[in-house]
Amino acid sequence: TIELSKRVQLIQPSPTLAVAAKAKELKAQGRDIVGLGTGEPDFDTPDHIKQAAIAAINEGATKYTAVDGTPELKEAVINKFKRDNGLSYEPNQILVSSGGKQSFYNLCQALLNPGDEVIIPAPYWVSYPDMTLLAEAQPVIIKTTIEQHLKITPEQLKEAITEHTRLFVINSPSNPTGVAYSKDELKALGEVLKEHPEIVIATDDMYEHILWEEGSFTNILNACPELYDRTIVLNGVSKAYSMTGWRIGYAGGPANLIAAMKKIQSQSTSNPAAPSQAAATEALNGDQSCIKPMLEAFKKRHDYLLKELNAIDGITCLPSDGTFYAFPNVQGLIDKHGCESDLDLAELLIEKVDLALVPGSAFGAPGHMRLSYAASMETLEKAIERLKKVAN
């Protein structure tokens, strides 16, 4: 066998993708697996967006574009930030990448040095710690409890900051918890950060549009505009427009940081796919009413799951503010079955009742399970039936 880099040995393959792969494999063996593992809307990309890509291909969008995105898409991003978030950016403050995942990767590579610390509230999106490690920096995880609604407090943030802190990451509404920080809560966190001008702030707004309460989205820059010069806003079209396969994410932030991220991208992947950029331009500029039916479906499924999960012995679930994830505490079920951890319980669920969920440990929150309800009601009903079998 080939000896591999130390770097690659620091990280794990994405556990959410691993659960999806395992579910697929067992399905192929003929097992009737219900999989609630993937973080992918189950809707098709809206037709007007697909048509824009087809037209663009026919008109020659088949070549390299500018590394940081076409002028049309960058303008659409600038208009979107203005319209939806009240944030102003110049074109040299915008970078379009191949998915939100690449945006965060570029950020870590452009910003972090060995020994730097990145503060990450748990439960977290699985990629934050591993991309931090790939940049040879150290994740510093802040743990939260269900009593604090799985959100960090300003006191916890203050305690986590050291002279090595370089980056603070906040994702609201959150994958995997579905909870969002209020403007007041963000302001209180911002007050702590104001005392530490050397810390860069990344707000991952990927689930901005998947929020039950209309017009309720707010990020840390809205709450604390003073942080503008050292905050990078990460977003993308994957979740809001059901465009996971198109691979378009974007970032807005300080010009020199964006330029450094662009340099990393220019020596790795270059521009995101040209037809996808045309599709994303239409998604951001076009009719926004395509979001609403998806949002309504997610809300209906959320309400169903919340009620059913909380009725099961050994499971406690917080209501979500948005996204398409439920993140119940399942410690009662873990204990009941004499499992060591949520990882064991996930194995038991797949072996005994053909139910594939992602264990909370993957998100830095043992004792929990993530259920993605980007799945039909029929699938969710089956999942609940199977969970009940294990609980009784």
Q: State the minimum distance, in angstroms, from the CB of residue 75 to ligand PLP.
A: 20
Rounded Cα distance, 199 and 196, in Å: 6
178 binds ligand PLP (CB under 6 A): no
Both structure tokens of 176: 């995997």
Q: Give the residue carrying structure tokens 């007050």.
A: 191
Let me know how long the chain is: 392
Q: Which is nearer to ligand PLP, 117 or 208 (CB)?
A: 208
Task: Give strand ranges (E) for 126-225.
Answer: 138-142, 165-171, 200-204
Minimal distance, residue 216 CB to ligand PLP, in Å? 18
Q: Is 171 in the site for ligand PLP (CB under 6 A)?
A: yes
* Min dist. Cβ of residue 366 to ligand PLP (A): 20
Applying CB under 6 A, does 81 fall inside the site for ligand PLP? no
Peptide bond into 123 cis (omega under 30): yes
Our finding on whether 39 is near ligand PLP (CB under 6 A) is yes
Residue with tokens 């410690």: 331
Q: DSSP for 144-155, please give it.
A: --GGGTT---HH
- Is 249 a binding residue for ligand PLP by CB under 6 A? The answer is yes
Verify binding: residue 360, ligand PLP, rule CB under 6 A.
no
| Closest residue by beta carbon to ligand PLP | 99
Q: Is 272 in the site for ligand PLP (CB under 6 A)?
A: no
Interaction of residue 252 with ligand PLP, rule CB under 6 A: no
**Would you count residue 244 as binding ligand PLP (CB under 6 A)?**
yes
Judged by beta carbon, residue 243 or residue 384, the one nearer ligand PLP is 243
- Residues 82-101: x/- map of binding to ligand PLP (CB under 6 A)? -----------------xxx
Q: Cβ 240 to ligand PLP, closest distance in Å?
A: 10
Q: Which is nearer to ligand PLP, 70 or 235 (CB)?
A: 235
| 190 is a contact residue toward ligand PLP (CB under 6 A) | no
Rule CB under 6 A: say whether 206 interacts with ligand PLP.
Answer: yes
Rounded Cα gap, residues 354 and 328, in angstroms: 19
Whether 45 contacts 241, CB under 8 Å: yes
Q: How many residues bind ligand PLP (CB under 6 A)?
A: 13
175 binds ligand PLP (CB under 6 A): yes
Cβ atoms of residues 122 and 98 within 8 Å: no
- Of the candidates 329, 320, 341, the one whose C-alpha atom is nearest the C-alpha of residue 369 is 329
Using the rule CB under 6 A, is 262 a contact of ligand PLP?
no
Q: Is 253 in the site for ligand PLP (CB under 6 A)?
A: no
R_g of the chain computed on alpha carbons: 21
Residue pair 223/186 in contact by the 8 Å Cβ criterion: yes
Provide the minimum distance between the beta carbon of 239 and ligand PLP in the complex, in angstroms, as a whole number. 7
**Binding of ligand PLP by 15 (CB under 6 A):** no
DSSP 8-state code for residue 312 = S
Beta strand pairing status for 325-326 and 355-356?
unpaired
DSSP strand pairing (117-121 vs 165-171): parallel
Contact between 354 and ligand PLP per CB under 6 A: no
208 binds ligand PLP (CB under 6 A): no
Query: In sequence order, what E strands does the chain have?
Result: 34-35, 94-97, 117-121, 138-142, 165-171, 200-204, 231-236, 249-252, 325-326, 355-356, 358-359, 369-372
Residues in contact with ligand PLP by CB under 6 A are: 39, 99-101, 125, 171, 175, 204, 206, 236, 238, 244, 249
